[in-house]
Structure 1
Amino acid sequence: MLPWTALGLALGLRLALARSGAERGPPASASQGDLLLLLDSSASVSHYEFSRVREFLGQLVALLPLGPGALRASLVHVGSRPYTEFPFGQYSSGAAVQDAIRAAAQRMGDTNTGLALAYAKEHLFAEVAGARPGVPKVLVWVTDGGSSDPVGPPMQELKDLGVTVFIVSTGRGNLLELSDAASAPAEKHLHFVDVDDLHIIAQELRGSILDAMQPQRLRASEVTSSSFRLAWPPLLTADSGYYVLELAPSAQPRSVRRQQLPGNATRWLWLGLDPDTDYDVELLPESNVRLVRPQRLRVRTLLDEAGPERIVISHARPRSLRVSWAPALGPAAVLGYHVQFGPLRGGAAQRLEVPAGRNSTSLHGLAPGTAYLVTVTAAFRSGRERALSAKACTPDGERSRAARPPPPGAAAGEP
């Protein structure tokens, strides 16, 4: 039996544990930041699912260094209207936060996630609403996958504020839309898992949150074959100086690219880079007010290999369906595709091998009226793999008339 954690959040766990030296996590002074838990509390979630998600969130915060001068947590419900269970700073200990989560009641109503995200931006993450300036901000959205209103625009506004977005989906919803909503890369920020298996990802998610809560150093994210994004803490202000960013291939240190940025900048996106290349980055804070030391970082771009860009489900029958996908970039480097599928609610996973020249296949032997998770993985000659997943549902099948027992007293062959 294969638990469905199709898109993991494993990055950061090993580093976080190595820094802490203990399973319970680092001391409170090691991390500072604001963590917003966005909980789908609408009528689309059953009472049982809500209770399991609430239990998971309590388990998650128990692993985090919450307290004065460390991480702060807030819980907001998604419903017809957003509702704040508790804001940042209301509770000063992890135990108090756990008690508040356990006491949270389901709000019911519509699933207006977009409205809740806009509310979070204005009433929780904004400095005028009491948010701490200069500390990392993380959003963990736990959802059954659906929303009654658009999520993309308000989520992008939060990302533009520097909020790192993790999404935990309990199995329903559009994977491509959720991938766009999560911070990039999606495989590190989006997790699909059955509601009964949420405990499996608690340690992984904890490590990823702690990794996102490290503000004191220059760091890279959203690394692709031709770009990456840099972020750093607010070391200067607009009036106290400016930054100079320098970028050079490690093998060609004299081929330097420079970019000057104002003192209130904390992010920059480098574009037009070469694939599979080490780059040395240096952030130089220039100020006449105080001395601020430079920060350095080495980043390696990805190989110029991309997995399937889009999955299309068609010809859905009670016991079969067809899966098609946009071929991976660089087809000459593709050895073939693996198509893995299994029920979202548990069960054995099956796997098909598809040659490199094809971009579709049919899945047979399925159960009627069942939701499946389908993952298409491109295998490259370099040994790397790139995957994309989508949910597919088979329609309900009609019961066989031959299987129905005849009514009492009816002769064989009578209707």
Structure 2
Amino acid sequence: MKRFWALILAAALLLNEWCVVNSVPRRNGTSTTASELSGILKKIVSPCTTEQTNCNNPDLDIVFALDSSSSINDTEFKAQKYATNMIAEFIDRHSPIAPDGTRVGALTFATDVVREFELNEHTGLESVQGYIDAIGRRMGGTNTKLALETAQLMFEDMFLEESWKLIWLHTDSMSNLGDPRPRATSIKKQGWIICVVVIGNHENVDGIDDIASPGCVVKFGSFTEYAKVAKKAQGPDQFDEFGYQG
């Protein structure tokens, strides 16, 4: 069953990527727009199409992997957390966070990895967002390989067969502590999805296209831009205390 959902989602993401590429020509390095980010998220939370019969959108297990390496300052890390909360809010509106619904976990990675909270710890959006806000920045290298390994363990420790799995991974630089691509390949072979948010360098950093699932790479010039676009993807005319407008 999990492979069935993975095939549905992979097809949806590939279709989304084809539509973006063929409807709006984009230069190499162009940032992801709010509509593109919203489109990717909608495909993730609602992979069923109106043409599909006997298709129910699955519950989700999501691990947010936040980059906490030394190249990220306090303001950038705060913006990364804010954007993560906006992604969680978008998902919650379409697939509510609940004990018997969508489950959310989070980790931070630098030289090492910290499991900030597990998939079964917080059973509502407000709690998830509060604990993301409380995550502290650390220092060190960029161990993307260990981040993926840890996210996989978090799924396995709280495994639910009927829920498909998503890793939402952030990075602003090349992994300098091992090659993450073999682990990513192994994860995707299980039918699990990896989406990668690339900040700053819009080239194929670390073989991002080899790490991410098809159609699930999003790119921004800065963490502030990411936060603004994530807010804007919620819908028009939204303001909040962090100062970002949708």
Q: Same fold (TM over 0.5)?
A: yes
CA spacing shift, 1:182–1:67, aligned 2, 3 Å: same
Contact 1:144 1:173 in 2 (8 A): no
**Aligned AA for 1:90?**
E
| 1:171 equivalent among 185, 200, 214 | 200
Match of 1:87 among 118, 127, 131: 118
1:124 aligns with 2:150: no
Whether the aligned pair in 2 keeps the contact of 1:44 and 1:111 (CA below 8 Å) is no
Which residue of the other structure, out of 136, 142, 145, is the alignment partner of 2:170?
Answer: 142
Q: Using the alignment, how far apart are the partners of 1:205 and 1:131 within structure 2?
A: 30
Distance 1:203 1:164, change over 3 A: farther
- 1:155-206 Cα offsets, whole Å, 9 max, x none, are 111111211111111122642611111101xxx3001113212145437988
| Aligned residues with identical type, % of pairs | 22
Query: In the aligned structure 2, how far is the partner of 1:15 from the partner of 1:78?
Result: 24
Contact 2:199 2:220 (8 Å CA) reproduced: yes
Partner of 2:85: 58
CA–CA distance in structure 2, aligned partners of residues 119 and 138 of structure 1: 13
TM-score under structure 1 length normalisation? 0.42
What is the identity, as a one-letter code, of the residue corresponding to 1:197? E
Cα distance in structure 1, aligned partners of 2:169 and 2:212: 9
The Cα shift of 1:106 comes to 0.8
State the alpha-carbon separation in 2 of the partners of residues 6 and 33 from structure 1. 24
CA distance in 2, matches of 1:14, 1:156: 21
- After TM superposition, what 4+ stretches of structure 1 lie above 3 angstroms from structure 2? 6-9, 11-17, 203-206
For 2:158 and 2:105, how far apart are their aligned partners in 1? 12
- For residues 284-323 of structure 1, the aligned pairs below 5 Å read none
Paired with 2:117 and 2:170, the residues of 1 have a C-alpha distance of 17
Cα distance in 2, alignment partners of residues 59 and 52 from structure 1: 11
Residues 205 and 79 of structure 1: CA distance in aligned 2, closer, same or farther (over 3 Å): farther
Contact 2:168 2:195 in 1 (8 A): yes
Q: State how far apart, in whole Å, the 2-side matches of 1:15 and 1:79 are.
A: 27
Give how far 1:134 is off: 2.6
Could you give the per-residue CA deviations for residues 1-27 of structure 1, whole angstroms, max 9, x where no partner exists? x9942584434638979x9xxxxxxxx
| Partner of residue 112, structure 1 | 143
Counterparts of 2:118 and 2:86, CA distance in 1: 19
Which residue, 108, 128, 131 being the options, matches 1:100?
Answer: 131
Q: Secondary structure at the match of 2:166?
A: strand
Q: Identify the match of residue 65 of structure 2 among 32, 35, 38.
A: 38
Q: Distance in 2 between matches of 1:14 and 1:39?
A: 22
Deviation string 1:325-362 (CA, Å, 9 cap, x unpaired) is: xxxxxxxxxxxxxxxxxxxxxxxxxxxxxxxxxxxxxx
Which one-letter code corresponds to 2:168 in the other structure?
V
The partner residue of 1:198 within 201, 222, 226 is: 226
- In the superposition, relative to structure 1, how do residues 181 and 14 fare at CA in structure 2: closer, same or farther (>3 Å)? closer
Residues 372-401 of structure 1: per-residue CA shift (max 9 Å, x gap): xxxxxxxxxxxxxxxxxxxxxxxxxxxxxx
Larger radius of gyration between Structure 1 and Structure 2: 1
Paired residue total? 189
CA contact (8 A) 1:117 1:154 kept: yes
Distance between the aligned counterparts of 2:159 and 2:231, measured in 1? 27
Structure 1 portions without partners, runs of 5+: 20-28, 207-415
Q: Which residue of 2 aligns with 1:162?
A: 191
1:108 Cα shift? Answer: 1.3
- The DSSP-based 3-state class of the residue aligned with 1:192 is strand
Number of the residue aligned with 1:314: none
> After alignment, is 61-70 or 173-182 more displaced?
173-182
Relative to structure 1, the CA distance from residue 164 to residue 82 in structure 2 (aligned partners, 3 Å threshold; closer, same or farther) is same
Deviations 1:232-259 (A, max 9, x none): xxxxxxxxxxxxxxxxxxxxxxxxxxxx
Please give the residue correspondences for 1:247-396 in structure 2 after superposition, counting only pairs within 5 Å.
none
Q: Distance in 2 between matches of 1:89 and 1:15?
A: 21
The amino acid of 1:114's aligned partner reads K
Greater fraction helix? 2
Is 1:182 aligned to residue 205 of structure 2? no
Whole-angstrom distance in 2 between the partners of 1:105 and 1:82: 13
Deviation of 1:145 (Å): 3.1
Contact kept? 1:56, 1:199, Cα under 8 Å: yes
Q: Distance in 1 between matches of 2:59 and 2:45?
A: 14
SS, match of residue 124 in structure 1: helix
Aligned position for 1:152: 181
Aligned-partner Cα distance in 2 for 1:204–1:15: 18
* Residues 35, 140 of structure 1: 8 Å contact kept: yes
Higher relative contact order (CA 8 A, sep 6+): 2
Work out whether residues 113 and 147 of structure 1, in 8 Å CA contact, stay in contact via their aligned partners in 2.
yes
